[in-house]
Chains A and B, each alone.
Chain A
């Protein structure tokens, strides 16, 4: 079945960097973009960025520009999200989520499915 499996929880000190992995299975990895989303404790979902199927194009939320890097290893069907210069407010659960989309005459739609199980990163 289609599945995204993320790496395990991490504890980091302020100023450090983190790199999370997201391994895909059950579908053609190079046919879909991948989103990254985070959720701080008790807060809502926050979109961070997106990488294209070949790993050559990335889009980042303005908030994370300069601190986040998305990469992809197509040989292992694995995506990576690196966030640098960590602060305490980067403490959150980080998710990868596969992009799906449709374009019709009266509009377009995108949806995130499936999601990884989430990776808790604690910065303290």
Chain B
């Protein structure tokens, strides 16, 4: 089983807010990073180092963390936000990195 666990899928109405969670003990000591992946494209970084957005990522993307759970929130979801989202962190052993299984976000 993966060290990081995500819900497989979530849906959100256009313009509403959705939260994607990532759970794992390694998150207690590691800031999760989050990636958006659309079909046929490479993943794109959306959040890094607690709650930082790379240039070009809208401020409707934000992140938080508590204990062994990290969350990515999309506030005011747009049709273009429909994608798979993955969390990532260094593994508990310190010698590997791990991805969550991914969450498919559908915007209704």
Interface of chain A, helix or strand or loop or mixed?
strand
In angstroms, Cα B84 to Cα A59, docked, is 27
The reply to whether A44 and B99 form a contact with Cβ atoms under 8 Å apart is: yes
Q: Could you count the A-B residue pairs with CB atoms below 8 Å apart for me: how many are there?
A: 72
In angstroms, Cα B78 to Cα A55, docked, is 42
Given A95-B42, A100-B48, A115-B42, verify A61-B96 contact (CB < 8 Å). Answer: yes
In angstroms, Cα B44 to Cα A95, docked, is 12
The reply to whether B42 and A110 form a contact with Cβ atoms under 8 Å apart is: no
**Residues of A close to B22: CB separation below 8 A:** none
Of the four ranges (under 10, 10 to 19, 20 to 34, 35 or more), the interface on chain A belongs to: 20 to 34
Interface of chain B, helix or strand or loop or mixed?
strand
Residue of B nearest to A46 (CB): B99
A76 at the binding interface (Cβ < 8 Å): no
Contact of B50 among A45, A59, A109 (CB under 8 A): A109
The reply to whether B97 and A115 form a contact with Cβ atoms under 8 Å apart is: no
Residue of A nearest to B49 (CB): A109
**Residues of B close to A100: CB separation below 8 A:** 48
10 tightest Cβ-Cβ pairs between the two chains A and B: A109-B31, A111-B48, A111-B33, A113-B45, A109-B49, A45-B99, A115-B42, A44-B102, A47-B97, A102-B49
